[in-house]
Structure 1
């Protein structure tokens, strides 16, 4: 019998992995791996285990994805976050990147994503990218040129233009502001 993976909604960072692992331990569910958006249990869960785990996860802001379409949308989100975080090594277009990893035609992925999220993949990707820029600016470890390079922007001017379109602030204004409004990645 093949072990069924469990897909989890709203996992966006390493702390999320730790929180989900904690839920599994609290529910005494053995697992072999937890990665963003996905649990590999050691054994298939009983219905009661799945209900208990889902209840525990919801208390922490997560939930088990049960609908096939939602699973694919969640996988798209996880892949886009990985794409953004690993930008220097990425040379594929987003459409190729998703198609090569999900083995589904991009037009189908795009249509499905828009249907479930009421947002396009491109808009979602840009919002996530700008939130990552905000994060990097908040840390103050990289200057704008370094951030533009890290995220494969063609120029600092283009990064600044996109940043202002989304946030209504220039990156410099954002850095100087007292109120650095950042949006939780799972709320985009």
Structure 2
């Protein structure tokens, strides 16, 4: 038997952070966008222990402010793309409002640190979301393109093919064949 799961990365990550921090008995607050505010001094040993505990979940402590802001940009874009809430503003406006910096500054910083643009990162996230929607929700390509704010199915298809090497229709067929094979087993 196979089941399909839907999960929220941010909720899972916050839960892991909360549990790991609680076991260390450190006074803290978990803030949004992967920030933890310690309400008391934390020793280097405790930070090293936390870093080790977090590493097994793919979470790392970032000490550089530029890298931390780039991570916030990524988290904000992932939240925007994977949100069930329909967000009707441009990504540039959304980022500037959420992070309290001009989009120009965020864009330059992101490119400097990651060697790619915010736009490219956003496209990658939208395509990942499209794949998830194809696999989990069985939506039509028209519904997916609308949900992800593409101007048309053709625009979605072009970006999908440029990113993955196959069209969304081909991807749907592959998923359908895999399901058929799994159901016959």
TM-score, normalised relative to structure 2? 0.79
Q: Does 1:25 align with 2:22?
A: yes
Once the two structures are TM-superposed, the CA of residue 27 in structure 1 deviates from its matched residue by 2.8
Cα 1:91–1:102 shift into 2, 3 Å: same
Partner Cα separation in structure 2 for residue 51 and residue 60 of structure 1: 15
1:17–1:36: 8 Å Cα contact kept in structure 2?
no
Gaps of 5+ in 1: 1-10, 179-188
The aligned residue for residue 125 of structure 1 is 122
Residue 110 of structure 2 aligns to a residue whose secondary structure is helix
Higher helix share: 2
The aligned residue for residue 70 of structure 1 is 67
Once the two structures are TM-superposed, the CA of residue 82 in structure 1 deviates from its matched residue by 1.5
Cα 1:29–1:143 shift into 2, 3 Å: farther
Partner Cα separation in structure 2 for residue 20 and residue 49 of structure 1: 14
Residue 39 of structure 1 aligns to a residue whose secondary structure is strand
The aligned residue for residue 54 of structure 2 is 57
Cα 1:88–1:17 shift into 2, 3 Å: closer
Which segment drifts farther, 131-140 or 15-24? 15-24
The aligned residue for residue 115 of structure 1 is 112
Which segment drifts farther, 27-36 or 144-153? 27-36
Partner Cα separation in structure 1 for residue 41 and residue 133 of structure 2: 40
Once the two structures are TM-superposed, the CA of residue 12 in structure 1 deviates from its matched residue by 4.4
Partner Cα separation in structure 1 for residue 38 and residue 169 of structure 2: 46
The aligned residue for residue 165 of structure 2 is 168
Q: Using CA pairs under 8 Å that are at least 6 residues apart, name the structure with larger relative contact order, 1 or 2.
A: 1
2:81–2:126: 8 Å Cα contact kept in structure 1?
yes
TM-score, normalised relative to structure 1? 0.78
RMSD (Å) for aligned C-alpha atoms: 2.4
